[in-house]
């Protein structure tokens, strides 16, 4: 059994800070929620490194919204449901596609500049989209543009206070209600942030894997803390592996945006042959899981550690349309306008997460979640490219609207008391060693291709690691590693339970989709 909290504490002895709404995370979901919520009360945002340290900052391709003349929310919905392979929540998808265009235009009103062609947005197309509906900024710097605009707005908003370098450890809950979080300051002090409503916008957990496009902050802390507190985590087996990360030793793997294939780049085998038409009618723009498995297959056949992505058809236009990809490739000695780029798959996105309703509510009163940390049901078994930035906006906005009813001017928050003094066992090795082992294990046994034998053996080892939790003094690395161990077990467990292949979850021992048994969600809760 996991401990309820990762650390000892006594609220009555701790530094305490108060606000109306607490938002954890400074990516698109956290900052947008904070800005919207500041209309109704005082908001505090906590973030574990600097504001821009987030997956959002790294997003390249763009943000999907049905704003084009030929497009409609209905078409966007159809594409999203198809990509989700029968597991999307239709109400949530309807909200996403219908409210998406308004949210994107709000972002423009806040100051975000998306690329234009004449008066219209320059819309691009990505895998599994039937229309051009991806807005992008400075070519392939969409996330950076959004992060800059939202950070600036939050920093200059009188209703939002931002604390950087604050590592949230656990949620404070009592009698089924959430009252904020316990966090670690850089000086090693623990502090309680108390609030009437708390939003976990802590992003995903790409760091579960040896090869990932995610930055170091993506350790799934919010999911693990929510799990310890008793929320349900849904669909944890569905991890999206991006087919095309730049192949080079080191972590994180730089993403080569799918929009490049949308603009005509093609995948080429180690032997120099174009292979995607053999795997799917949409060829290079097939769903990501299909492309990732096809690449693995080609790599296996040629005993190679990468394939090639040939974007030379863009020629001199490459640098203008994809400046970030161009510059990064040049930094690794590849000129993508005249030669192909070495690429291989990497863990990229978590479809599952903290189960919420369409207003971002969890099963714990006063606790909300949105963005990549949450599972509201818009992605199902596979995310449609560029829907995740949109998700952060749409559901962040809805959370802000529903949180306003929580503000309470009673002294209850100030009187709250809670302690935990459970015994804890330190790991035998260092946190860094444990993390490395988990990342290797997940890549080898809970990766793109899975089977019962591999999942079983991963679970056995993870159970051994989970018997230990770091005791005081607590460090950021130890907290993150404990969270990774918890989540690794949940991903492996959910993957073992789902005896079929669907979307991003592929079982070598159950290669077919099985709607009769498995057109349903996997929900994991601590008590189970
Ligand atoms: C390389 C790359 C390219 C991508 N390209 C696209 C794209 O083109 N289009 C698209 O739609 N999506 C894209 N995605 C996915 C998308 O960027 C993310 O899903 C989205 O940005 C998630 O936003 P978020 O606000 O939920 O989380 P994040 O942006 O990851 O923010 C999470 C925040 O929580 C903070 N945090 C985490 N744990 C703690 C803790 N314990 N205490 C305090 N703070 C904490 C983090 O520091 C961070 O500030 C891409 C992702 C990557 C990695």
pLDDT by residue (tens digit) across 392-422?
999 999 999 999 888 887 788 999 999 998 8
Average pLDDT, the chain: 95
- Does residue 17 register a pLDDT over 80? yes
Best of 136, 388, 393, 475 for a ligand 1 pocket test (most atoms within 8 Å of beta carbon): 388
Nearest to 82 by CA among 125, 127, 123: 127
Taking a C-beta distance cutoff of 8 angstroms, is the pair 12, 417 a contact? Answer: yes
Which domains are present in the chain? 9-238+351-415 (3.50.50.60), 242-345 (3.90.700.10), 425-524 (1.20.58.100)
Best of 36, 47, 48, 55 for a ligand 1 pocket test (most atoms within 8 Å of beta carbon): 55
**Ligand 1 atom with least separation from CA of 480:** 41
Q: How far is the CA of 221 from the centre of ligand 1 (A)?
A: 12
Active-site residue among 125, 133, 288, 397? 288
Range scoring the smallest mean pLDDT among 62-66, 363-367, 419-423, 475-479: 419-423
Q: For residues 186 and 198, give the distance between their C-alpha atoms in angstroms, rounded to a whole number.
A: 22
Taking a C-beta distance cutoff of 8 angstroms, is the pair 304, 270 a contact? Answer: yes
Q: For residues 80 and 94, give the distance between their C-alpha atoms in angstroms, rounded to a whole number.
A: 10
Q: For residues 525 and 528, give the distance between their C-alpha atoms in angstroms, rounded to a whole number.
A: 6
Model confidence at 258, pLDDT cuts 50, 70, 90, reads: confident
**Ligand 1 atom with least separation from CA of 370:** 26
Q: For residues 109 and 32, give the distance between their C-alpha atoms in angstroms, rounded to a whole number.
A: 13
Model confidence at 185, pLDDT cuts 50, 70, 90, reads: very high
Range scoring the smallest mean pLDDT among 197-201, 248-252, 319-323, 516-520: 248-252
Q: How far is the CA of 414 from the centre of ligand 1 (A)?
A: 33
Burial 149-158 (b: 16+ CB within 10 A, else e): bbbebbeebe
Q: How far is the CA of 347 from the centre of ligand 1 (A)?
A: 13
pLDDT by residue (tens digit) across 197-207?
999 999 999 99
Taking a C-beta distance cutoff of 8 angstroms, is the pair 210, 442 a contact? Answer: yes
**Ligand 1 atom with least separation from CA of 142:** 8
Best of 53, 58, 59 for a ligand 1 pocket test (most atoms within 8 Å of beta carbon): 59
Per-residue confidence (pLDDT) for residue 378, from 0 to 100: 98
**Ligand 1 atom with least separation from CA of 390:** 11
pLDDT by residue (tens digit) across 113-138?
999 999 999 999 888 889 999 999 99
Classify residue 496 by its DSSP letter. H
pTM over 0.85: yes
- Does residue 528 register a pLDDT over 60? no
In this prediction, residues 300-307 reach a mean pLDDT of: 96
Q: How far is the CA of 144 from the centre of ligand 1 (A)?
A: 11
Q: For residues 203 and 25, give the distance between their C-alpha atoms in angstroms, rounded to a whole number.
A: 7
Greater pLDDT, 342 or 406: 342
Q: How far is the CA of 148 from the centre of ligand 1 (A)?
A: 14
Residue nearest to atom 13 of ligand 1 (CA): 59
Residue nearest to atom 10 of ligand 1 (CA): 386
- Does residue 240 register a pLDDT over 80? yes
Nearest to 261 by CA among 372, 141, 134: 134
Q: Which residues, in sequence order, are CB contacts of 359 under 8 Å at separation 6+? A: 368, 395, 398, 399, 401, 402
431-445 and 476-497 helices, crossing angle to 10°: 20
Model confidence at 65, pLDDT cuts 50, 70, 90, reads: very high
| Degrees to nearest 5, angle at CA 51 with 254 and 357 | 85
- Does residue 474 register a pLDDT over 90? no
Q: For residues 516 and 112, give the distance between their C-alpha atoms in angstroms, rounded to a whole number.
A: 45
Q: How far is the CA of 141 from the centre of ligand 1 (A)?
A: 14
| CB-count burial class (<10 Å; 0-12, 13-18, 19+) for 70 | exposed
Backbone angles phi, psi at 251, to 5 degrees: -140, 135
288 is catalytic: yes
Q: Residues with Cβ within 6 A of ligand 1?
A: 24-30, 46-49, 53-56, 58-63, 142-143, 166-168, 201-203, 213-214, 217-218, 221-222, 255, 349, 371-373, 386-389, 392
Burial 434-470 (b: 16+ CB within 10 A, else e): bbebbbebbbebbbbbbeeebbeebbebbeebbebbb
Nearest to 368 by CA among 377, 359, 381: 359
What three-state secondary structure class fits 173? Answer: strand
Residue nearest to atom 9 of ligand 1 (CA): 386
**Ligand 1 atom with least separation from CA of 204:** 30
What three-state secondary structure class fits 390? Answer: helix
What three-state secondary structure class fits 435? Answer: helix
**Ligand 1 atom with least separation from CA of 388:** 11
Sign of CA dihedral 397, 402, 403, 405: positive
Q: How far is the CA of 202 from the centre of ligand 1 (A)?
A: 7
Per-residue confidence (pLDDT) for residue 472, from 0 to 100: 65
Taking a C-beta distance cutoff of 8 angstroms, is the pair 64, 134 a contact? Answer: yes
Three-state secondary structure string covering 50-117: CCCCCHHHHCCCCEECCCCCCCCHHHHHHHHHHHCCCCCCHHHHHHHHHHHHHHHHHHHHHCCCCCEE
**Residue the block writes with tokens 């935990």:** 420
Q: How far is the CA of 496 from the centre of ligand 1 (A)?
A: 27
- Neighbour count for residue 289 (Cβ, 10 Å): 25
Nearest to 18 by CA among 418, 419, 420, 412: 412
């Amino acid at each position: 059994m996991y401990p309820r909290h990762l650390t000892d504490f006594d609220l009555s002895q701790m530094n305490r800070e108060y606000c109306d709404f607490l938002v954890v995370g400074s990516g698109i979901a956290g900052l947008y929620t904070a800005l919207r919520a500041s209309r109704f009360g005082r908001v505090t945002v906590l973030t574990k490194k600097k504001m821009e340290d987030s997956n959002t900052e790294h997003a390249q391709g763009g943000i999907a919204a049905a704003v084009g003349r030929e497009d409609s929310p209905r078409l966007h919905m159809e594409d999203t449901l198809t990509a989700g392979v029968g597991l999307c929540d239709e109400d949530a998808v309807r909200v996403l596609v219908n409210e998406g265009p308004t949210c994107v235009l709000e972002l423009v009103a806040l100051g975000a500049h998306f690329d234009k062609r004449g008066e219209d947005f320059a819309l691009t197309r990505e895998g599994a989209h039937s229309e051009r509906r991806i807005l992008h900024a400075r070519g392939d710097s969409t996330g950076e543009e959004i992060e800059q605009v939202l950070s600036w707005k939050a920093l200059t908003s009188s209703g939002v206070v931002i604390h950087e370098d604050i590592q949230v450890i656990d949620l404070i809950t009592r009698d089924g209600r959430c009252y904020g979080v316990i966090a670690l300051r850089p000086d090693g002090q623990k502090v309680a942030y108390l609030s009437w409503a708390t939003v976990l916008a802590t992003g995903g957990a790409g760091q579960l894997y040896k090869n990932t496009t995610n930055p170091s902050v993506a350790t799934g802390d919010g999911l693990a803390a929510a799990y310890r507190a008793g929320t349900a985590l849904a669909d944890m087996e569905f991890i999206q592996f991006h087919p095309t990360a730049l192949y080079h030793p080191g972590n994180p793997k730089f993403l080569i945006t799918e929009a490049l294939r949308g603009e005509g780049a093609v995948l080429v085998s180690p032997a120099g042959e174009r292979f995607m038409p053999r795997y799917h009618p949409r060829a290079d723009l097939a769903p990501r899981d299909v492309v990732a498995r096809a690449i693995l297959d080609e790599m296996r056949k040629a005993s190679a550690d990468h394939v090639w992505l040939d974007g030379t058809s863009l020629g001199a236009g490459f640098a203008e349309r994809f400046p970030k990809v161009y510059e990064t490739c040049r930094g690794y000695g590849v000129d993508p306008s005249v030669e192909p780029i070495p690429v291989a798959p990497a863990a990229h996105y978590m479809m599952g997460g903290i189960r919420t309703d369409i207003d971002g509510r969890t099963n714990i009163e006063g606790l909300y979640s949105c963005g990549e940390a949450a599972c509201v049901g818009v992605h199902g078994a596979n995310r449609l490219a560029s829907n995740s930035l949109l998700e952060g906006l749409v559901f962040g906005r809805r959370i802000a609207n529903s949180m306003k009813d929580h503000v309470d001017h009673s002294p209850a928050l100030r009187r709250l008391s809670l302690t935990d003094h459970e015994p804890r066992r330190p790991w035998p090795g260092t946190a860094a060693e444990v993390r490395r082992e988990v990342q290797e294990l997940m890549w080898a046994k809970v990766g793109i291709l899975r089977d019962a034998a591999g999942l079983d053996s991963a679970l056995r080892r993870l159970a051994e690691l989970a018997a230990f939790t770091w005791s005081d003094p607590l460090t950021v690395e130890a907290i993150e590693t404990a969270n990774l161990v918890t989540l690794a077990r949940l991903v492996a467990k959910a993957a073992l339970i789902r005896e079929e292949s669907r979307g991003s979850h592929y079982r070598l021992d159950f290669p077919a989709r099985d709607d009769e048994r498995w057109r349903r969600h996997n929900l994991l809760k601590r008590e189970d």
